Amino acid sequence: MAPSATRTSSESALSSTHIKSQNVGVFTNPEHELYIKNGPVPAPGPGECLIHVRATGICGSDIHFWKSGHIGDMIVVGENRLGHESAGVVVAVGEGVNRFKLGDRVALECGIPCMKATCYYCRTGKYNACPDVVFFSTPYHGTLARYHVHPQEWLHKLPDTLSFEEGSLLEPLSVALAGMDRSMLRLGDPIVICGAGPIGLVTLLAAHAAGANPIVITDLDENRLATAKKLIPRVNTVKIVVGETPKDSAARIKEALGFEAKIVFECTGVESSVQSAIYSCTFGGLVFVIGCGKDFQNMPFSYMSAREVDLKFQYRYKDTYPKAIGLVAAGLLDLKPLVTHRYTLEQGEDAFKTASDPKAKAIKVQILDE
């Protein structure tokens, strides 16, 4: 399903509450510029809701689009608004909206598939593979704005106990949950998580809740490892040493785990880390790559073959938001400590500088709007 043509709120009849006049957003372009820009407030078309976006997290992919201009075949070809980790409140509804009303608090699922009966992937429930998906961020304008129009079918109501910040974090949590489902993780499985960034940390939270044991998490950054230990005190941490061979890193990882890992969740996409993950696996084990890395990487093919190490990947998610909301609402996962830095929309450039600067020691940077 394609987004409706952009209209202003004065151009169509709709039910609405008070709406500010300025639609501030954070944009990039093929020249790798990052800037704040005001635009018109869009009006929702049939079946759509206008969302006042209250919280948006900066994802590593947002940084990639700004700094590199592409991730694989997803390319910034013109002025592009960033963002896809968002939650907010319904402030206007278009004709035919029957699932939401003004004032409803919602999380936004930003991959909008075609849902046509002729689409094999949509028809069989694999809508994250839909070739005609509209994923808000690139090349379509993302959600990092004061106001964003969204189809009602891809909004998820937030319980009153969940904050907008937690609602925004449901998106990276969905990535982790999708990977965990496909990994077939079982109670008591010894696992390793490579990378203690936002995806690695939500994977840690989910793996702990699922009963993985023991758990080791790795990173270059001692601050991130300390955060992991605060979140889940029973996790063992391994600091990766720059210049160390993947085999040597794997030896230390296995020593900290006490076993060879049944599953390694690789959340960095870095070639040396993927190699360490492979060497950390038991015979018949699984390396599940959730991280986004460079297009071509070298792997220890013969080692993987002789050890029957499986390599799997995760592309976005499907039908994970209801589960994510339920887990957080029930108190099984505490996402709140992940947000370390908060900025206003008008401070968007500073927010991206913090998110992209390792010296800032940020875990999750969020942009908030009142």
Provide mean pLDDT across the span 298-303: 96
**What confidence tier does 72 reach under pLDDT thresholds 50, 70, 90?**
confident
Query: Which pLDDT belongs to residue 184?
Result: 97
pLDDT digits (tens, 9 = 90+) for 336-368: 999 999 999 999 999 999 999 999 999 999 999
Name 53's bridge partners. 88
Mean pLDDT over 131-138 rounds to 92
Antiparallel, parallel or unpaired: β 85-93 and 105-108: antiparallel
Which pair of tokens denotes residue 326?
């339920």
pLDDT (0 to 100) of residue 137: 84
Q: How far is CA 76 from the centre of its chain?
A: 19
Cα 106 to Cα 82, 178, 240, 344: the distances in Å are 19, 20, 39, 19
| pLDDT band at residue 7 under the 50/70/90 scheme | very low
Which token pair is 268?
């960095």
Q: What is the pLDDT of residue 65?
A: 94
Neighbour count for residue 348 (Cβ, 10 Å):
25
SS3 content of the chain, % helix, strand, coil (to 5): 30, 30, 40
First to last CA, the chain: 30
| pLDDT of 163 strictly over 90 | yes
| Residue (of 240, 231, 233) closest to 195 by Cα position | 240
Share of the chain above pLDDT 70, in %: 95
Mean pLDDT of the chain: 94
| Span 41-49, average pLDDT | 97
pLDDT band at 15 (very low <50, low <70, confident <90, very high): low
Q: Judge whether residue 10 has pLDDT over 60.
A: no
Query: If pLDDT is split at 50, 70 and 90, which confidence band does 2 have?
Result: very low
**What whole-number distance in Å separates Cα of residue 330 and Cα of residue 320?**
15
Task: State the virtual CA torsion across 30, 34, 37, 40 in degrees, nearest 10.
Answer: 50
Residue with tokens 């061979």: 245
Does pLDDT of 4 surpass 50? Answer: no
308 Cβ contact list (under 8 Å, min separation 6): 283, 284
pLDDT reported for residue 18: 77
pLDDT tens readout for residues 252-270 = 999 999 999 999 999 999 9
Question: What percentage of the chain reaches a pLDDT higher than 90?
Answer: 89
Report d(CA 107, CA 165) in Å as an integer. Answer: 10
pLDDT level of residue 21 (50, 70, 90 thresholds): confident
User: Which tokens is 298 given?
Assistant: 């070298």
Please identify, in words, the CATH class of the domain defined by 9-157+335-368.
alpha beta
With cut-offs at 50, 70 and 90, classify the pLDDT of residue 312: very high
Confidence check: pLDDT of 13 > 50: no
- CATH code for residues 176-313: 3.40.50.720
What is the layout of strands, in order, in the sheet containing 261-266? 236-239, 215-219, 191-194, 261-266, 281-289, 310-313
Domain boundaries, the chain: 9-157+335-368, 176-313
